[in-house]
Amino acid sequence: MKMWAGRFKKQIDSGVNDFNSSIAFDKVMYKQDITGSVAHATMLGECGIIDKSEADKIVAALKEILSDIEAGKVEFTADAEDIHMNIETILTERIGDTGKRLHTARSRNDQVALDIRMYLLAETERVKAAVLGLLEAIRDKANENIDTVMAGYTHLQRAQPVTFAHYILAYSEMLRRDYARLCDAADRMNVMPLGSGALASTTYPINRERVAELLGFPAVTRNSIDGVSDRDFVIELASALSILMMHMSRFSEEIILWCSSEFGFIELDDAFSTGSSIMPQKKNPDVAELVRGKTGRVYGSLITLLTLMKGLPLAYNKDMQEDKEAIFDAIDNTVLSVNVFTSMFATMTVRADVMRKSASKGFINATDCADYLVKRGLPFRDAYKAVGTLVARCIELDTTLEELSLDEYRQICPVFDTDVYEAIDLDTCVNGRKVTGGPAKESVLVQIAVLDDFIRTAK
């Protein structure tokens, strides 16, 4: 028998019963549902809307149900549709008529709005912890690689020398912005909607601020229609997760390139690689590829949510039940991806020698060679042209700027002297870039210290 049986002459069609039911996925919110109901019942008792003794009875029974669920002693049923009605049904089975008083001055519409906010607030913490874990791994690897010179790329062509520490600290900046976005999304989620009722609030003399206080919300929603219609916070979270996964996907792409024989910059730990069923020589970066792949799935959730909401008139519509699987899947896959990526990243071996070799070919010190001439009075454009000619000469002779003879240098531009070799030395090139945010050791040490500070305060 359905809760709304009074108005109906027929039982619900069994196909519709299953179709309509969300218990299979919204049961994960059991704790938030019970916690919300405990606060609601407490407030109803305090305000004299139900008897204080009945409120106490409801609260005690709800707490028992919670521990029974956690002990695996409770079975939910699709007949009760969703987590909210499942728990109310169990409550009523246990304490009879008193249980039926819990839903006074409340609708499932404001109840689900409350539950999902509380659930996503907790889940956002899980994502934040995962991001912090990766930031720590980056800090540690950066510390080990302050002197690891490598080629930096533009257009995937060798461009200018940087260090591996500097390179991966770029990802720490992206992840810090992701972290801030998660905090920001949580702030807007952290508003208490109960009391909005179905859409038009209630005539009972409830105390919404008291419920907010009991649940630890700093504020209550300002408009009852918005209170039950708003899923912006779900979309904002999905958007923050999508941007985070975009960064994870770029990072994964680099890992995949770096562990190829063509680059050979890193080697993944055996525990984080897979073999091929046919090619014995293969060691594949499946973890990074899967993170890259899952990014599409998380974007999919964002698009699902945006599309879900775009045509809905105010206030609640059942379409909104579809928000849960999308956002739950996005969170689970993001947390999974960040955590496994972190372990893979922390255990990989950095091939400093190969990185340095990559930086010594490809003329990535050509800019510094031109700067050498500028420091000796040539206009940059003339210096640029002279070095271009030098590079062409090196290619002709199959050599590098480091190995080209001083004679050759002087034939192209007589300003060159023996100290040019020192000026184009890779370490000189890197450590000369000591501006804020540059790859020089002293600048990178500052970047690491700032990151370390951030991690400490965030924890």
Q: Of 355, 360, 382, which Cα lies nearest the Cα of 371?
A: 382
Q: Are 58 and 103 in contact (CB under 8 A)?
A: no
Q: Of 115, 154, 160, 112, which Cα lies nearest the Cα of 315?
A: 112
**Minimum Å distance from CB 193 to ligand ARG?**
12
d(CA 434, CA 456): 26
d(CA 405, CA 387): 14
Q: Of 191, 225, 231, which Cα lies nearest the Cα of 208?
A: 191
d(CA 209, CA 187): 17
d(CA 439, CA 437): 7
Q: Based on CB atoms, which residue is closest to ligand ARG, 23 or 129?
A: 23
Of 14, 53, 260, 276, the active-site residue reads 276
**Minimum Å distance from CB 112 to ligand ARG?**
4
Burial label, 159 (beta-carbon count in 10 A; 0-12, 13-18, 19+) = middle
Q: Based on CB atoms, which residue is closest to ligand ARG, 325 or 332?
A: 325
Q: Based on CB atoms, which residue is closest to ligand ARG, 113 or 175?
A: 113
Binding positions for ligand ARG, rule: CB under 6 A: 22, 26, 82, 108-109, 112, 316, 318, 320-321
Non-local (6+) Cβ contacts of 150 within 8 A are 161, 162, 163, 164, 167, 265, 355, 356, 358, 359
Q: Are 66 and 6 in contact (CB under 8 A)?
A: no
**Minimum Å distance from CB 231 to ligand ARG?**
10
Q: Are 55 and 38 in contact (CB under 8 A)?
A: no
**Minimum Å distance from CB 97 to ligand ARG?**
23
Of 22, 155, 273, 443, the active-site residue reads 155
Our answer to whether residue 247 is catalytic in this structure is no
Give the DSSP per-residue string, 384-402.
Answer: HHHHHHHHHHHHHHT--TT
d(CA 380, CA 378): 6
**Minimum Å distance from CB 15 to ligand ARG?**
18
Q: Based on CB atoms, which residue is closest to ligand ARG, 25 or 421?
A: 25
**Minimum Å distance from CB 367 to ligand ARG?**
58
Q: Based on CB atoms, which residue is closest to ligand ARG, 123 or 178?
A: 123
d(CA 334, CA 320): 22
**Minimum Å distance from CB 297 to ligand ARG?**
22
Sign of CA dihedral 141, 142, 143, 148: positive
Q: How far does the chain reach from its first CA to its final CA, in angstroms? A: 50
Our answer to whether residue 84 is catalytic in this structure is no
Positions marked active-site: 155, 276
